[in-house]
Amino acid sequence: MQALRHYLLAVQFFTRLPVTGRLAAWVGYSPAMLRAASAHFPGVGWLVAAVAMGVYAALWWALGGQGFAPLVAAVGSTIATVLVTGGFHEDGLADVADGLGGAYERERALTIMKDSRIGAFGAMALVLALGAKLALLAQLGSLGLEVALWALLGAHVLSRLWPLFVVRALPHVGDTATSKSKPLADQITGRALAAAILWCFLPLALMYQALGASVLIVSVLCSALGGAWMLWRFARRLQGFTGDCLGATQQVAEIAFYLGAAMALAPRAA
């Protein structure tokens, strides 16, 4: 029951899915509980992926899977994920792009990232990120509905694992008085990290069974490289991380997963 409470707290923290009223009172909240809930962040990806997969499949079937059906399905599923998460991670990506793109000095970059307004670099990052998602999901859908669905599942779950490595490796450098992610920075235990990895096992195993080892390996490798690149950037430019950095890492790792799957399945010229 305690694990269920931690999972529901993660759902409450990272999505707009209703955990309210008596259920919220039963779940409770404390910084220690939020730290424990970090083990279930990839499990939140299961729920987001389920919504994305359902919308993608419904639109793909409604349009007969022909012509622009994969693109329409990609747009619908992406809108659905934004509604479910409240654009939480996309907002982080925009803030990080504004901070790192708008200043070379560490303190100035952190100040820019606190500003809720979107600047030129943030707008460009959002447009390019959403465009990349739509193009890659449409490409995957053109190869078959099941391809896109398995990619959605793997990407949404695995991309929520890599931010935990950022937390594990770097200190928190955000505003400790207002940052919602500060409790996560205090401690990510090895046990929590192992539990998060276990959340990823079943989706990736199912993807392996459906699409084969080469697709799985390339997808996971690309996603890991995306997460590692973001960690390196934060260590180099900020000497730490903020909550926005975690959202940005999730977005880059998700897109990289789709890219890996698309590359692994791309038809080769004779």
One-letter amino acid of 98: D
**CA–CA distances in Å: residue 213 to residues 221, 234, 252:** 12, 32, 22
Number of H helices and number of E strands within the chain?
14, 0
Residue-level pLDDT at 108: 92
Q: Which of 18, 211, 248, 220 is nearest to 113 (CA)?
A: 248
Residue with tokens 């390996």: 217
Euclidean distance between CA atoms 264 and 267, whole angstroms = 9
The tens digit of pLDDT for each residue in 74-122 reads: 999 999 999 999 998 999 999 999 999 988 899 999 999 988 888 899 9
Q: Domain-by-domain residue ranges, the chain?
A: 44-263
Residue with tokens 């859908």: 141
Under the banding of pLDDT at 50, 70 and 90, the label for residue 269 is very low
Yes or no: say if 57 and 146 are a contact pair by the CB < 8 Å rule.
no
One-letter amino acid of 56: Y
- pLDDT exceeds 80 at position 20: no
| Neighbouring C-alpha atoms within 13 Å toward the C-beta of 59 | 23
The tens digit of pLDDT for each residue in 128-171 reads: 999 999 999 999 999 999 999 999 999 999 999 999 999 999 99
Query: In a 3-state reduction of DSSP, which class is residue 172?
Result: strand
State the pTM of this model: 0.93
In degrees and rounded to multiples of 5, residue 241 shows phi and psi of -140, 160
The tens digit of pLDDT for each residue in 31-79 reads: 777 777 888 899 999 999 999 999 999 999 999 988 899 999 999 999 9
One-letter amino acid of 177: A
Under the banding of pLDDT at 50, 70 and 90, the label for residue 192 is confident
Residue-level pLDDT at 237: 93
